[in-house]
């Protein structure tokens, strides 16, 4: 009966090889070594190797494409008793359960498993040895994973990143540090500009950060059409790694100073997190704002609500740009205003905000005095930081004492949150203490930039792209401009720089030409001369 169900001796064979990842394919010769050993075994057994299936990935066998193709091949040749040769039992499955399931699937497909390292059999003793070897292979794999994880954890505790380098960084061997994250230019500068722009308010939303990154040719894209995923922007803004710190919650590694060069300060990173958790801002509509750069910067003077813009088509098919109020209960609801009229009035406002050279010289002198004062303050700032850190240490100690005495879960969580917040504040102060007090830019460089902007805001606005125009609007005005359909723009709320210049100009009044002694009776001939006005210096006028 047993002899009747046996088939002819197998003559065909396939080889299955596997490594745990693409990195082993690039840096090693695992697949080729396994294949050579299996071919030697096939030659010894006089098998004809008809196909080789190779996987360069880990995971369950159902997710291995080469394994799926091999099982499909075996099912098509089920009656030919095809032998499946593997180099070692550890290359077959990741654990005992997967091994047993795969053996059953392989047998159902008509395959016969063989290996130069172990003799597979169907009796109970052979199966026991097979399962023991599979269990040993599983234990070795898990032990290696534990050792690797422990080494990675220890390295993170020492202030080193161990995961894939984020965009803007790359790993580089640097002496005693081994592989250390180093800025990858010019991408690092792009990431820095994006993060600092979001922290300062230059980019009002994450969507604007996304469009800024997409406009940079050197920034790597992950979607067709030079697009990037919005989640990628959110992840970038939430990584403290860019501030020079290391942390990993799943491993219980709290925030600590890293050895790599930061792209932004911890203070900037904190501002980014505050902005991310604040009230969301409606994303800028790119399609309309390219035609209407003032969209979002103009409000209706009647209802103080933002005005919208659109293109309107006439009966002849010609298109005209318009602004109009979209508030239903406003008296100006849907009353169109030609965009050319609004743009012309805005041009007059910007062109009228150019100070004279004399006023700029006064501003330079005041800036020089403020600059010297800040340099003097910087020399004593470290002592202030030390005192503040000492205060935070005392607060932490007090909270820790109360935490030890508390048994309520809710109170414990509240104390832990407060302690973590104080620790972040300490890190920011410590970072400020370690910063170089020397300014990054010289006084001449800062004043040159300031002069260029103050002397020609309209030229910068007119010649710039959409992003530059938005930046000028945010720099010059602190609030949207109110526009009346009949009277035009109301008095704009300018930024502190322009308000400062306005205050200087407004104080240039006419004064009486009079001394400070007691008044005396003047002859009639001298009376008119005493009343002659004295005009202030003309250079202080706009």
CATH of the domain at 191: 3.90.1750.20
The verdict on 123 and 226 lying in the same domain is no
Asked if residue 325 is part of any domain, the answer here is: no
The verdict on 220 and 272 lying in the same domain is yes
Phi, psi of 492 (to 5 degrees): -75, 150
Asked if residue 324 is part of any domain, the answer here is: no
Question: Residue with structure tokens 């607060």?
Answer: 395
CATH of the domain at 118: 3.40.50.1390
The verdict on 106 and 231 lying in the same domain is no
State which of 398, 414, 445 marks the end of a domain: 445
The verdict on 130 and 176 lying in the same domain is no
The verdict on 280 and 415 lying in the same domain is no
Q: Are 275 and 199 in contact (CB under 8 A)?
A: yes
Distance CA 385, CA 391 (A): 10
Q: In what order do the strands lie in the sheet with 481-484?
A: 298-300, 481-484, 488-489
Helical residues (DSSP H) of 161-313, grouped into ranges = 187-200, 206-214, 230-237, 266-277, 286-289
Asked if residue 517 is part of any domain, the answer here is: no
The verdict on 397 and 280 lying in the same domain is no
The verdict on 144 and 36 lying in the same domain is yes
Domains in the chain, number:
3
Q: How does strand 511-512 pair with strand 112-114? A: unpaired
Annotate 158-191 with three-state secondary structure. Answer: CCCCCCCCCCCEEEEECHHHCEEEEECCCHHHHH
Which pTM was predicted? 0.56
Q: Are 40 and 79 in contact (CB under 8 A)?
A: no
Distance CA 536, CA 511 (A): 8
Distance CA 66, CA 55 (A): 6
Phi, psi of 58 (to 5 degrees): -100, 180
The verdict on 108 and 234 lying in the same domain is no
* Nearest alpha-carbon partner for 360 in 241, 451, 297, 299: 451
Annotate 241-308 with three-state secondary structure. Answer: HHHCEEEEHHHCEEEEECCCCCCCCHHHHHHHHHHHHCCCCCCCCHHHHCCCCCCCCEEECCCCCEEE
pLDDT of residue 241: 93
Asked if residue 86 is part of any domain, the answer here is: yes
Helical residues (DSSP H) of 30-91, grouped into ranges = 30-45, 65-76
State which of 397, 413, 445 marks the end of a domain: 445
Distance CA 203, CA 394 (A): 38
The verdict on 273 and 373 lying in the same domain is no
The verdict on 371 and 435 lying in the same domain is yes
Asked if residue 399 is part of any domain, the answer here is: yes
State which of 445, 472, 507 marks the end of a domain: 445
Distance CA 535, CA 515 (A): 16
* Nearest alpha-carbon partner for 299 in 465, 492, 476, 468: 492
Query: Partners of 482 in the beta sheet?
Result: 299
Asked if residue 161 is part of any domain, the answer here is: no
**Residues constituting the chain:** 542
* Nearest alpha-carbon partner for 300 in 320, 330, 321: 330
The verdict on 7 and 92 lying in the same domain is yes
Question: Residue with structure tokens 């052979």?
Answer: 126
pLDDT of residue 166: 92
Asked if residue 538 is part of any domain, the answer here is: no
Annotate 344-405 with three-state secondary structure. Answer: HHHHHHHHCCCCCHHHHHHHHHHHHHHHHHHHHHHHHHHHHHHHHHHHHHHHHHHHHHHHHH
The verdict on 277 and 398 lying in the same domain is no
* Nearest alpha-carbon partner for 498 in 355, 362, 371, 364: 355
Question: Residue with structure tokens 């910067």?
Answer: 297
Under DSSP, is residue 18 helix (H, G, I), strand (E, B) or coil?
A: strand
Q: How does strand 511-512 pair with strand 533-534? A: antiparallel
Asked if residue 227 is part of any domain, the answer here is: yes
Q: What is the mean pLDDT of each run of 10 residues along the chain (542 residues)?
A: 46 85 54 87 90 72 75 86 86 80 86 86 82 84 85 90 91 87 92 91 86 90 87 92 90 88 89 81 55 85 89 83 89 88 88 71 73 69 77 82 80 81 79 64 70 78 81 83 89 76 56 48 45 37 32
Domain region containing 54: 2-151
């Amino acid at each position: 009966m047993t002899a009747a169900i046996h088939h002819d001796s197998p003559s065909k064979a396939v080889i299955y090889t596997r490594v745990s990842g693409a990195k082993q394919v690039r840096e090693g010769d695992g697949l080729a070594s396994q294949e050579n050993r299996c071919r030697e075994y096939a030659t010894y057994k006089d098998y004809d190797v008809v196909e080789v299936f190779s996987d360069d990935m880990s995971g369950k066998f159902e997710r291995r494409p080469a394994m799926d193709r091999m099982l499909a091949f075996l099912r098509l040749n089920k009656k030919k008793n095809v032998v499946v040769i593997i180099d070692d039992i550890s290359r077959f499955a990741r654990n005992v359960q997967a091994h047993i399931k795969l053996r059953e699937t392989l047998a159902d497909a008509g395959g016969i498993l063989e290996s130069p390292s172990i003799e597979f059999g169907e009796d109970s003793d052979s199966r026991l040895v097979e399962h023991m070897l599979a269990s040993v292979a599983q234990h070795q794999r898990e032990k290696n994973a534990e050792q690797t994880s422990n080494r990675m954890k220890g390295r993170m505790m020492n202030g080193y990143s161990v995961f894939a380098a984020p965009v803007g960084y790359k790993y580089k061997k640097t002496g005693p540090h081994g592989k250390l994250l180093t800025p990858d230019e010019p991408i690092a500068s792009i990431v820095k500009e994006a993060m600092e722009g979001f922290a300062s308010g230059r980019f009002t939303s994450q969507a604007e950060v996304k469009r800024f990154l997409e406009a940079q040719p050197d920034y790597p894209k992950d979607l067709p059409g030079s697009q990037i995923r919005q989640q990628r922007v959110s992840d970038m803004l939430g990584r403290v790694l860019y501030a020079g710190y290391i942390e990993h919650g799943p491993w219980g590694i709290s925030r600590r100073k890293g050895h790599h060069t930061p792209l932004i300060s911890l203070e900037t990173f904190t501002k980014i997190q505050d902005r991310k958790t604040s009230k969301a801002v409606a994303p800028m509509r790119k399609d309309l704002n390219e035609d209407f750069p003032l969209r979002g910067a103009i409000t209706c003077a009647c209802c103080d609500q933002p005005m919208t813009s659109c293109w309107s088509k006439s009966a002849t098919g010609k298109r005209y740009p318009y602004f109009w109020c979209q508030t239903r209960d406003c008296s100006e609801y849907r009353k169109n205003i030609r965009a050319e009229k609004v743009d012309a009035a805005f041009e007059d406002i910007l062109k009228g905000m150019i100070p004279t050279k004399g006023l700029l010289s006064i501003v330079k002198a005041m800036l020089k005095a403020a600059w010297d004062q800040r340099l003097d303050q910087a020399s004593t700032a470290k002592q202030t930081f030390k005192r503040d850190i000492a205060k935070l240490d005392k607060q932490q100690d007090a909270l820790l004492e109360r935490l030890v005495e508390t048994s309520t879960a809710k109170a414990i969580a509240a104390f832990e949150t407060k302690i973590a917040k104080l620790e972040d504040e300490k890190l920011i102060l410590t970072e400020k203490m370690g910063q170089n007090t020397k300014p990054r830019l010289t006084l001449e460089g800062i004043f040159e930039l300031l002069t260029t902007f103050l002397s020609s805001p309209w030229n910068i606005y007119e010649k710039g792209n959409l992003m530059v125009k938005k930046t000028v609007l945010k720099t010059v005005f602190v609030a949207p401009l109110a526009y009346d359909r009949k009277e035009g723009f109301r008095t704009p709320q300018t930024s502190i720089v322009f308000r400062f210049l306005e205050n200087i100009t407004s104080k240039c009044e006419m004064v009486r030409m009079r001394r400070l002694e007691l008044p005396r009776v003047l002859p009639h001939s001298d009376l008119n001369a005493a009343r002659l006005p004295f005009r202030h210096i003309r250079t202080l006028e706009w």
